[in-house]
Structure formats: structure tokens, C-alpha cells
């Protein structure tokens, strides 16, 4: 099984990219979790799309999403909502609109995230649900992971030092993988 994980942060020391990298290491046997970020995705501009087509980075993300059995969004939370740069990347991935069904339609998608604040990414995760519904994705509600106070969860190299978070992340990835597998069989 292939699952695409996308970190929606541009920051070099991103907690969400660190969480994604940890998830790759914790993926259950038989699950390949492919890690990508949104680095290199330009701001969406219909004139740019008309003149130059889909940017190469966006094409890569779209192709990986199409080939994947499931998708996990590792989302930061900015100002009590989803990050504009991450939404921008998903907006690009929905272009042209005739590709939405192929990229997102019926695709199992999970959302998790890490934040330096006390509430994790609960509001960001909730904000994504409207977007996923619009794209026709199948959101997984079997697990929820909001890593709060992420500065104490990761070391300077981005490795998880909190065993409870590591355990919860492994359980989240395993639960989502089982959901994806059930959808493949169904």
C-alpha cells in the first residue's frame, strides 16, 4: 500500500515535517509512506496556469496523489485555521478542475498536525473538512492526532522524544492504513 504524506509547512525546522518524517519510520509493514512538502509550489494564479500549465512541483504532488491509495495532510494551524500556503498547494492540485475526481475523488484522507500551542491543530483540522468534502475525498474519522506544545515533543534534529506521542502517531498511521486497506477491498 502507498500513502502520500504532505507537510503543509515551509519552515525549515517544521514540527509537521518532523512529524511526517517520524510517521515514515513508524509506518506498519507493507505500507510505504511517501513524504513530501509544499516547497516549490507557487502561489496559484490562473494567468500562470493558462500561460505555463501546471508547475512541475504541483505535477509531482498530483501524480503521487493519484498513484497513492491514501493521503495524509500534516497541517500546521495559523490564526485558528488552515495555513494559506497549504490550501494554496491543494488548490493547485485541483487544477484543472477536471482532475479533481482523479486526484481526490473518493481518496481516503487523514489529517493530523503539530503546533507549539496548547491546543494542537484542532481548528485547522476542522477547517480542512470543508475543503475535503468539496474535493470529494473520503475523510477518515477513526483517529485524531493533535500534537500540542510540539517544541517539547521533538529534539533539535526533529526526532520525537515524547514516547506517548510516538505511540499515538504509530497507532494513527496503523489505523489509517487499515481504513485504506478496507476501502481497497470494498
Tens place of pLDDT for every residue, the chain, 186 residues?
999 999 999 999 999 999 999 999 999 999 999 999 999 999 999 999 999 999 999 999 999 999 999 999 999 999 999 999 999 999 999 999 999 999 999 999 999 999 999 989 999 999 999 999 999 999 999 989 999 999 999 999 999 999 999 999 999 999 999 999 999 887
User: What is the four-CA torsion angle of 175, 178, 180, 186, rounded to 10 degrees?
Assistant: -140
**Cα distance between residue 19 and residue 26, in whole Å:** 10
pTM score of the predicted model? 0.97
Q: Among candidates 127, 23, 34, which has minimal Cα distance to 75?
A: 127
In Å, how far are 34, 61, 92 from 128, measured between CA atoms?
21, 18, 15
**Cα distance between residue 103 and residue 7, in whole Å:** 17
Structural domains in the chain plus CATH codes: 2-185 (3.40.50.360)
Amino acid at each position: 500500500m502507498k500513502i502520500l504524506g504532505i507537510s503543509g509547512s515551509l519552515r525549515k525546522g517544521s514540527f509537521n515535517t518532523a512529524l511526517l518524517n517520524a510517521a515514515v519510520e513508524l509506518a506498519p509493514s507493507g505500507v510505504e509512506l511517501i513524504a513530501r512538502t509544499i516547497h516549490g509550489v507557487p502561489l496559484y494564479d490562473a494567468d500562470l496556469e493558462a500561460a505555463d500549465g501546471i508547475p512541475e512541483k504541483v505535477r509531482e504532488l498530483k501524480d503521487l496523489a493519484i498513484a497513492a491509495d491514501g493521503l495524509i495532510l500534516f497541517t500546521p494551524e495559523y490564526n485558528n485555521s488552515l495555513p494559506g500556503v497549504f490550501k494554496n498547494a491543494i488548490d493547485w492540485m485541483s487544477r484543472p478542475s477536471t482532475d479533481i475526481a482523479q486526484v481526490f475523488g473518493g481518496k481516503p484522507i487523514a489529517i493530523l498536525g503539530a503546533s507549539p500551542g496548547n491546543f494542537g491543530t484542532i481548528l485547522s483540522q476542522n477547517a480542512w473538512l470543508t475543503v475535503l468534502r468539496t474535493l470529494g475525498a473520503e475523510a477518515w474519522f477513526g483517529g485524531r492526532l493533535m500534537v500540542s506544545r510540539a517544541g517539547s515533543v521533538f529534539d533539535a534534529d526533529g526526532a520525537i522524544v515524547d514516547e506517548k506521542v510516538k505511540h499515538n502517531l504509530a497507532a494513527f498511521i496503523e489505523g489509517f492504513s487499515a481504513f485504506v486497506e478496507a476501502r481497497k477491498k470494498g
